[in-house]
Amino acid sequence: MGCFTFVAMIFIASTFAGGANTFFASRTGNEWLTLASCFIVISTGFYVPSLIYDNKKIALWLQTLIHMLIGTAVYLFTAHFVGWMKGGLGTTVVYISLALVAAGAFWSVFMSISKIQAKKINEKIKEKQQGE
């Protein structure tokens, strides 16, 4: 998913930057390789911990917390390592806060969707049980 996002970003950004030649000229080859490597590391950092969802013995909230903490830590470490987070402690706190807000928003949307689907499934099960 991270690699797909990277490629999609290249296509979208080059469209808004006045074309591919203008967009690609804005960075060196090393910068492009670093950016691509970061996307691979970050996507792996979020994908590997998502395997925890296969373990049904752990509560969903704890699975989500483990997944997001590891993924966010990988993201923040990568961002710091390549210099995306410039500034002191205050700037880092802002970045962490933004990451937590974004993660919380995505989690809220997907949990809401899951609850709605579960409610519909439970209603259909009740209907079938009453019909028997």
DSSP character string of 65-104: HHHHHHHHHHHHHHHHHHT-S-SSHHHHHHHHHHHHHHHH
Rounded to an integer, the average pLDDT of 96-121 is: 88
Confidence of residue 2 (pLDDT cuts 50, 70, 90): low
pLDDT by residue (tens digit) across 68-88? Answer: 889 988 988 888 888 887 777
pLDDT: is 54 or 107 the higher one?
54
Q: How confident is the model at residue 23 (pLDDT cuts 50, 70, 90)?
A: confident
Task: Tell which residue, 45, 97, 99, has the closest CA to residue 67.
Answer: 45
Indicate if the pLDDT at residue 92 is higher than 80: no
**Is residue 108 within 8 Å of 68, Cβ to Cβ?**
no
pLDDT of residue 48: 92
Which pTM does this prediction carry?
0.64
